[in-house]
Amino acid sequence: MGWGSEPLVLKFIGGQSHFCSVFRACIRKDKRSTKNGAGPMPRPHRRCLPNTTYHVYSRCIEWKTLLTEDSAKDMMIFTLRRTQRKYRFELIFYQIMDSHFHLVVRTLHGGATISRIMQYFKARYAESFNRAAKRIGPFWNERFKDTIVEEHYRSRDEVLGMLWYLAYNPVRHKKEKDPRGYRYGAVNCYLDDKFRTLVEITHHAAFTGLGRSMGERIRKFQEFEGIYFNYYDGVRARKACKNRRWVRIQYSRE
């Protein structure tokens, strides 16, 4: 059964929703696999599949904040539009930050692979930025990282939670108090049917399955924001409590 046909179910267990695991997965730090203590394993072969949704992200060289200026972010949106004109794919979501970006992309049957799309997008942007900034050298820190959404997120609820997690990046980085006020994200395309952006956004099936009308979809999608916000507040509270306990232990030892 696809996401578009699943019923909307919100189950609470111990004050948390049943899809809170998606937020834990999103904030979990990357861990490199090792074999017999011999160091990092070779990077895995990228899976390029048609009709597949990918969450991809990439960081600037040495994690520098090269995208701080609005002009740099505007250039990235223009490059996204340029990429859409060259290749057939669906752009589900985007979030541009000062040192990295997130995209949710769906490949199409007979269209370009995720590797071809991202190779073109990152190469064209690096060329444009270096030319405008009169700089030389690599722009990106590493090859882009990707997660297949259909495999990593097991339900429609988790997919919608992932979109809100991406939307709240500017809030977590103290760039905005509300993700709706951030110019370089796609969340408003899911909250206002009259909102327009320079790139074409295709709503994910998890969103379109929330209701028959756009108003019904928006109303139900906003419910996931409250669940995410409550969960993230709980995470911060637990971290603060843990830090205070650690400080008390250190103070008592002194």
The pLDDT tens digits for 143-158 are: 999 999 999 988 898 8
**Helices (H), ranges, 60-155:** 70-86, 114-133, 149-152
Phi, psi of 113 (to 5 degrees): -75, 165
Query: Hey, what are 47's tokens?
Result: 């899976």
Helix (H) or strand (E) holding 158: helix 156-167
How many separate domains does the chain show? 1
pLDDT at 46: 84
Regarding pTM above 0.85, the answer is no
**Share above pLDDT 90 across residues of the chain, in percent, rounded to a whole number:** 66
The answer to the question of residue 218 being in a domain is yes
SS3 content of the chain, % helix, strand, coil (to 5): 50, 15, 40
CA 156/CA 19 separation, integer angstroms: 9
Tens digits of per-residue pLDDT, 26-78? 544 444 444 455 555 566 678 889 999 999 999 999 999 999 999 999 999 99
pLDDT at 80: 98
Structural domain containing residue 120: 50-236
**CB-CB contact of 191 with 42 (8 Å):** no
pLDDT at 247: 39
Helix (H) or strand (E) holding 89: strand 89-96
106 closest CA partner among 90, 84, 85, 88: 90
**CB-CB contact of 80 with 86 (8 Å):** no
Query: How many of the other CB atoms lie within 10 Å of CB of 208?
Result: 14
Say which DSSP state 47 is in. Answer: -
pLDDT at 30: 45
The answer to the question of residue 251 being in a domain is no
Helix (H) or strand (E) holding 224: helix 214-253
The answer to the question of residue 27 being in a domain is no
Q: What is the CATH number of the domain that holds 97?
A: 3.30.70.1290
Give the number of C-alpha atoms closer than 13 A to the C-alpha of residue 36, restricted to the C-beta side.
1
CA 201/CA 162 separation, integer angstroms: 16
CA 13/CA 28 separation, integer angstroms: 21
CA 121/CA 81 separation, integer angstroms: 10
Low-confidence ranges of the chain (pLDDT < 70): 1-44, 232-254
The answer to the question of residue 8 being in a domain is no
The answer to the question of residue 219 being in a domain is yes
